[in-house]
């Protein structure tokens, strides 16, 4: 059994009146169990060269489960972003340096995770799937 955890720290000296700093950690486990997730797509990068939409993960290929997705826009140019879509619903945009970590239940072909770069210029996205 694999043991994998995800940790996020959020800190700011000026977001609110006082300094804030907090950390939260979660163990990544299979749905409804305390058994760790055991599979990964590996950490990879996709460099796009057109403004077309790309399927990053095919929902039909992974099935039900407590999957986790990590995405990071590695660009430094603030004008270059990726739009992230799941099941034909726009989830949001990852601007230069932005990253996301979220759960995904891939139970149907329609639950594909798709990305679309903001321009046809070269954009690079780092990504990983941790799954059951």
Structural domains in the chain, CATH included, are: 39-131 (2.60.120.10)
Q: How many helices (H) and strands (E) does the chain have?
A: 0, 11
**For residue 109, is pLDDT > 90?**
no
**Cα 38 to Cα 59: distance, rounded to the nearest angstrom:** 18
- What is the DSSP secondary structure assignment for residue 59, as one 8-state letter? G
Compute the average pLDDT of residues 88-111.
Answer: 93
Q: Are 84 and 115 in contact (CB under 8 A)?
A: yes
Model confidence pLDDT, tens digit, residues 40-90 = 999 999 999 999 999 999 998 988 889 999 999 999 999 999 999 998 899
Model confidence pLDDT, tens digit, residues 30-42 = 999 999 999 999 9
pTM over 0.85: yes
**Cα 18 to Cα 37: distance, rounded to the nearest angstrom:** 38
């Amino acid at each position: 059994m694999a043991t994998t955890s995800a940790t996020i720290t959020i800190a700011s000296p000026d977001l609110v009146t006082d300094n804030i700093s907090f950390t939260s950690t979660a163990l990544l486990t299979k749905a409804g169990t305390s058994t760790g997730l055991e599979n990964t797509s590996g950490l990879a990068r996709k460099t796009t060269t057109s403004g077309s939409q790309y399927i990053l993960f095919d929902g039909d290929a992974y099935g039900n489960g407590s999957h986790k997705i990590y995405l990071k826009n590695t660009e430094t140019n603030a004008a270059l972003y990726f739009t992230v879509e799941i099941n034909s619903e726009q989830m949001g945009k990852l601007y230069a340096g932005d990253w996301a970590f979220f759960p995904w239940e891939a139970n149907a072909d329609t639950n594909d995770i798709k990305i679309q770069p903001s321009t046809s210029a070269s954009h690079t996205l780092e990504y990983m799937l941790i799954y059951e």
